[in-house]
Amino acid sequence: MRDFAALIEGLAFTPSRNGKIRLIVDYLAHAPDPARGYGLAALTGGLRFAQVKPAAIRDLIATRTDPDLFAWSYDYVGDLAETVSLMWPATDRCGQAPTLAQVVERFGAARRAEVPALLEDWLSALDESGRYALLKLVTGGMRVGVSARLAKLALAEWGQVNVNDIEELWHGFEPPYEEIFDWLSGCTGRPVPATGLGFRPLMLANPLDEAELARLPASAFRAEYKWDGARVQLAAENGRVRLYSRAGDEISAAFPDIADAALGLHAVLDGELLVAAPGAGPVDVAIRPFNDLQQRLNRKKVTAAMLRSHPAHLRLYDILFEGQEDLRPLSFGLRRQRLEDWYRRLRPARMDLSPLVPFDGWPALATLRDSLRDAAVEGLMLKHADSAYLPGRPKGHWFKWKRAALTLDCVLMYAQRGHGKRSSFYSDFTFGAWQDGPDGPFLAPVGKAYFGFTDAELVDLDRWVRRNTVNRFGPVREVAPGLVLEIAFDSVQRSKRHKSGLAMRFPRIFRIRWDKPAAEADRLETLAAMLPDGGPIRAD
Amino acid sequence: MTALVQRQKPEDWIAPAGGGLAVGPGGFHIDPSRPVDRAVVTHGHADHARAGHGHVLATPETIAIMKSRYGPEAAGRFQPLSCGEPLTIGDTRLSLHPAGHILGSAMAVVEHRGCRVAVSGDYKRRRDPTCPAFEPVACDVFVTEATFALPVFRHPDDAAEVGRLLTSLRLFPDRAHLVGVYALGKCQRLIRLLREAGHDRTIWLHGALLALCDLYTAHGVDLGPCRPVAEAPSREALRGEIVLAPPSAGGDSWARRLPDPRIAMASGWMRVRARARQRRVELPLVISDHADWDELLQTIDDMQAPEVWITHGREEALMHAAAAKGVRARALALVGRGEEDEEAAPATEPAAPDTDA
C-alpha cells in the first residue's frame, strides 16, 4: 500500500503530464506484482467493487472522535477522506498494514455487511497516506488527474512498447493484468487475448481548415454526416458484447439494448451512439437531440422505463473486424464495401448505416453543408477513400467539417456562486482552451457563461464543481480540468482584458460534454482561427 | 490581613497589551509587536521580535538574530539572559527555558507573588538538530500557541519527509528542486536533516537566506557546503540540485533562473492538501517547527497548569480539548501572531522571509 499511496500523493500534486508519467513509470518499476497491476487498474477505473458511501465512513470516524473536533477539522480540510485519514487515531499496528493486492482482493470478495469491519481494521493498520489512498480507492474517486490513456502511455513507456499495443491488449485481460506485465517484463511473449472483444484505438478526425480545402482532391474523399451523438466501438463475439466509449471505457452495462441487439454478431464496429424516437422502425430512424442521449450516458445502470423512452441506436460508419479478419489495413473504400455487405446480410436491430453523402466538388459540398438544418447533424465528415484505419489522429486522412455555428469545446476552469435563487449554486462558469506551454498543455481562460443549461443540469454542474474543486478563492472554486463544455457564441474578438487575448461574444453553454475527455477539448488556436481576420493571436 | 491582601489573579498582572503580554509588576512586555520601553523576546521570528524597543531581554542567540535582521541599533539596549538563569525584574522573577522552536527560542517563565506564568512563544517537542529541546516547567498558567491545534495536524517523521525530497531528486534529476522554507529556523533545520540523511552535495541558497545560515554556522550548527544561487556556475548546474528559498520565491520571477524547477515547500501547513495546492506546491513536505495536535495536548499535561491561555491559532479546538482534560482555557487572540502563514498568500506576494511554521 505504501508504494501506491506515495504514487497517489505524487500524482495529485504533479501537474505536468510528463511528470505524472514519470511517477507512474517509477511505480511500475518498483511496485511488486500483483500490486502494480491493481494500482494501474485503480488509476484507470478498472477496479470494480461496490463503492463505500461517505456516510459509512462518517459512521466509522464518529465512534472514534469528538464530534466538535471532527466538525472543525472537516470544515478546515474540506475533504472527508482526507479528514478521516488525518484524524484516525494512531495505533501500534503499523506492521500489519495490508498490501494493495490484499485490499483489492479481499474487498472485491467482501459481502456488504463485512465492509465496515474490514475498513476499520485496515484504517487502524495504515499510516495517514495509506488511509487516504484506501479511502479514495473504496469510495471510487482517485481524482489524481490521470486518464486511462495517460496510465497506458506510462505502461507503454515502462515496457518499451507502442501504446497502441497496450490499448489493444488492455481490455482483453483483467486486473492485475498479469499476462501484460509478464510480457512487458520479458518473461513471456506478447499475450493473445482470449477474446477479440478488446478495445481498438479509434481513428480520429482533424478539424478541417477550409483554406486547405482547395488543395484536397475532392474525388479522393468520401463524405458522411457528422452525427451529434457519442462515438463508440462495438465488439461482439460468441454471444458476448462490449461497447466502448471513445476513450476506451467500457459502457456496455449502460446500454443493454445495444448489447442485446449485437448478441449474435461477430465483428468490431465503429459508429455513433444516438437515441432514437421510441418505436422507430429500422428504416428512417428519427434521432432525438443529444440531450436525450445524455440522459443515458450519465447513468451507469438504466431503468426499464428509460429503455422504452430513450431507446439507444447505433449508426455505423466503419468495420474494423469481420469475424476474425482484421479489416483495418484495408482502404476506407474497401471497408465501406465490406460494412455495407455485412449490414445487408445481417440487418441487426437498433443499427443502421450512416449513409455516404454524394457530392460533386467542394463548392457543392459547401452549399450542402450550409443547408444542413437537422439538429442530429453537426456537420460533415470527409474521409480519404484510400486511408487504412489508423489509430490516433493521423493527419490528412479524416476531417470533420462542422456546421457554421461557432462553437468551441472548452474545459471548465472556475465556477462562481450565483446570486438570488442561484446563490447556493456554482452557476457562473469560466472555461478555457488548451495552449502549449513549457510544461505541456495548459488551459487559457477564454470566457465566462452563466446560462444555456436547464435547472436540472445546473444541479449536476454544481455537484460536479463541488466534487472536483482543487482550490477556493472566496466565492470562486477552481476545478480540476475534467469537464468539457461546448460553448456556442456569436463571434470572437480580440481582447486586452483577457489573458488569452480573445473574447467570445455572447457565449452560452450549448451543451455539457460529460462524455468527452478534457484533453480532447479545443485549443486556443482553434478559437483564434475563428477571428474575423482569421487569427493568429497577437502577443502583447 | 488575608482579607485585605487578596491573592491577585494572574490576569490582573499579566494581560494582552502592546500586541504582546504586558507584565505590570515587572514593567515589561513579552513579545510586543509595538515598540515598548522594555521587551522580553521569546525568539527571533518577526511576529515576536520587532525592532524599536528601548530595551530587549532575550537569549544571546535571539539577540544575535535580531541584530542580524534589524541591525545593531534594533533596540536601545540588549540584555542577554541565558536559559536557566533567573533574574529579578521589579516585583517578578523571570527565567528563560528552551522552547525547541528555533535557535535561541525560549519560553519566558514569570513568577509574581507565588504565581507562575509560562509564556511559551512558539515551541515544538520533537528533536531539532539546530536547537535544544523544549523543557516543561510546572506552572499555574501555561500560555501556549495553537497554530496547529486541530487533530488533523499530526506531523509525520521528519526523516521520512526528507526521504521524499531525496526520492524526488532521483526521479527528476533534470529539475532543480526549489524548496520553500522560512529563512529563520526551517531553512537551517532542513539543511541539517538533509545532511543527516546523507545528502552531502552543495545546497544552493536564495540571497535572503544567507545571513541567517552564516549566523547558525557561527553558533556551531554545521550546515555543510552551501552557496548562493547567484554563484552557480550555470543554470544547468542546478539541475537535480536542492535550492532553498523563501516560500514566495517559487511564484515570482526569481525562480525563472532555475532549470524547470520542481516546487516543494517545507511547512506544517503542507499536511492539508488544499493548502499545498493553493501554494501551487508540487512536493509538499510536512516539516514543522510548531507542536502538532498531540504535542500540544502532551505539553498541556506536562506543564501541569490548571489554566491555559491561548495566544493564536485554532483556539476553539484547543480550548475544547483542554476543557475535556479539566483544564481551564481561554483565548487571548493576540492579533498579528502567525498571520503571515495563517492564510496562504498568493504565490505572487513579495518575499516574506520571516514567518514561521
Q: How does strand B177-180 pair with strand B203-205? A: unpaired
- Give the residue from chain A lying closest to B170, CA to CA: A26
Sorting pLDDT into bands at 50, 70 and 90, what band is B174? very high
Nearest CB partner across the interface for B152, out of A66, A76, A90: A76
- Residue A161, C-beta contacts closer than 8 angstroms, at least 6 positions apart: A184
Half-sphere exposure of A89 (CA within 13 A, CB side): 10
3-state secondary structure A412-462: EEEEEECCHHHCCCEEEEEEEEEEEECCEEEEEEEEEECCCCCHHHHHHHH
Nearest CB partner across the interface for B151, out of A22, A23, A87: A87
pLDDT of residue A209: 86
Question: Which H or E run contains A325?
Answer: strand A325-326
Please enumerate residues of A whose Cβ is less than 8 A from a Cβ of B: 6, 12-15, 19, 22-23, 26, 65-66, 68-69, 72-73, 76-79, 82-83, 86-87, 90, 127-128, 438-439, 470-472
- Residue A309, C-beta contacts closer than 8 angstroms, at least 6 positions apart: A278
Q: How does strand A221-227 pair with strand A377-384? A: antiparallel
Q: How does strand B14-17 pair with strand A508-513? A: unpaired
**Structure confidence by residue, pLDDT tens digits, A189-242:** 999 888 888 889 999 999 898 888 889 999 999 999 999 889 999 999 999 999
**Structure confidence by residue, pLDDT tens digits, A303-341:** 999 999 999 999 999 999 999 999 999 999 999 999 999
* Contact yes or no for A22 and B152 at CB 8 A: no
Query: By C-alpha distance, which of A224, A187, A191, A220 is closest to A205?
Result: A224
Distance from CA of B277 to the nearest CA of A (A): 7
Distance from CA of A417 to the nearest CA of B (A): 19
Does residue B154 contact residue A85 with C-beta atoms inside 8 Å?
Answer: no
Write the DSSP symbol of residue B51. S
pLDDT of residue A474: 67
Q: Is the pLDDT at A109 greater than 80, yes or no?
A: yes
From chain A, pick out residues whose CB is under 8 angstroms from the CB of B276: 13
pLDDT of residue A280: 57
Is the pLDDT higher at A280 or at A196? Answer: A196
**Structure confidence by residue, pLDDT tens digits, B274-329:** 888 777 789 999 999 999 999 999 999 999 999 999 998 889 999 999 999 999 99
> B154 touching A, CB under 8 A?
yes
Is the pLDDT higher at A503 or at B27? Answer: B27
From chain B, pick out residues whose CB is under 8 angstroms from the CB of A68: 317, 320
Distance from CA of A166 to the nearest CA of B (A): 24
Interval A478-504 mean pLDDT:
84
Sorting pLDDT into bands at 50, 70 and 90, what band is A418? low
Amino acid at A436: D
Residue A350 backbone zone (phi > 0: left; psi -120 to 50: alpha; other: beta): left
> B70 touching A, CB under 8 A?
no
pLDDT of residue A503: 80
The sheet carrying A398-402 orders its strands as: A206-207, A398-402, A377-384, A221-227
Tell me if residue A320 falls in helix, strand or coil: strand
* Contact yes or no for B274 and A471 at CB 8 A: yes
* Contact yes or no for B151 and A26 at CB 8 A: no
Residue % of chain A over a pLDDT of 90: 60
pLDDT of residue A376: 76
- Residue B245 has phi, psi (to 5 degrees) of -155, 160
Residue % of chain B over a pLDDT of 90: 81
pLDDT of residue B153: 96
For chain B, positions 259-288, list CB contacts with chain A under 8 A: 260, 262, 271-274, 276-278, 281-284
Distance CA B345, CA A439 (A): 24
Tell me if residue B245 falls in helix, strand or coil: strand
pLDDT of residue B323: 94
pLDDT of residue B7: 66
Distance CA B18, CA B38 (A): 11
Is the pLDDT higher at A195 or at A268? Answer: A268
Cα A347 off chain centre by: 30
Q: Which three cell numbers stand for residue A351?
A: 443499427
Interval B112-133 mean pLDDT:
96
pLDDT of residue A375: 60
Does residue A263 contact residue A420 with C-beta atoms inside 8 Å?
Answer: no
Is the pLDDT higher at B49 or at A214? Answer: B49
pLDDT of residue B352: 34
> B316 touching A, CB under 8 A?
yes
Q: Counting every residue, how long is chain B?
A: 357
* Contact yes or no for A6 and B276 at CB 8 A: no
* Contact yes or no for A86 and B153 at CB 8 A: yes
Beta pairing partners, A56: none
Sorting pLDDT into bands at 50, 70 and 90, what band is B344? very low
* Contact yes or no for A471 and B284 at CB 8 A: no
Cα B126 off chain centre by: 13
Active-site residue identified among A226, A383, A448, A516? A226
* Contact yes or no for B153 and A82 at CB 8 A: no
> B320 touching A, CB under 8 A?
yes
Interval A43-54 mean pLDDT:
82
**Residue A300 catalytic?**
no
Is the pLDDT higher at A298 or at A149? Answer: A149
Counting DSSP H helices and E strands in chain A, the numbers are: 19, 19
Distance CA B194, CA A186 (A): 38
**Structure confidence by residue, pLDDT tens digits, A361-405:** 999 999 998 877 666 787 899 999 999 999 989 999 999 998 766
Question: Which H or E run contains A309?
Answer: helix A304-309
Q: SS3 helix, strand, coil % of chain B, rounded to 5?
A: 30, 25, 45
Q: Is the pLDDT at A424 greater than 70, yes or no?
A: no
DSSP for A463-492, please give it: HHHHHTEEEEETTEEEE-S--EEEEE-SEE
Distance CA A510, CA A514 (A): 13
* Contact yes or no for B283 and A15 at CB 8 A: no
* Contact yes or no for B152 and A90 at CB 8 A: no
- Residue B218 has phi, psi (to 5 degrees) of -65, -25
Distance from CA of B64 to the nearest CA of A (A): 38
Angle, nearest 10°, between helix axes A115-125 and A54-62? 60
Tell me if residue A170 falls in helix, strand or coil: helix
Distance CA B311, CA B144 (A): 6
Angle, nearest 10°, between helix axes A100-109 and A35-43? 70
Is the pLDDT higher at A239 or at A492? Answer: A239
Global pTM reads: 0.76
* Contact yes or no for B277 and A470 at CB 8 A: yes
Say which residue the cell 456496455 belongs to: A252
Buried b / exposed e over B207-245, threshold 16 CB at 10 Å, is: ebbbebbebbeebebebeebeebeebeeeeebbebbbbb
3-state secondary structure A3-57: HHHHHHHHHHHCCCHHHHHHHHHHHHHHCCCCHHHHHHHHHCCCCCCCCCCHHHH
Interval A38-48 mean pLDDT:
87
Tell me if residue B309 falls in helix, strand or coil: strand
Is the pLDDT higher at A51 or at B54? Answer: B54
- Give the residue from chain A lying closest to B156, CA to CA: A128
pLDDT of residue B3: 46
Write the DSSP symbol of residue A287. B
- Give the residue from chain B lying closest to A480, CA to CA: B277
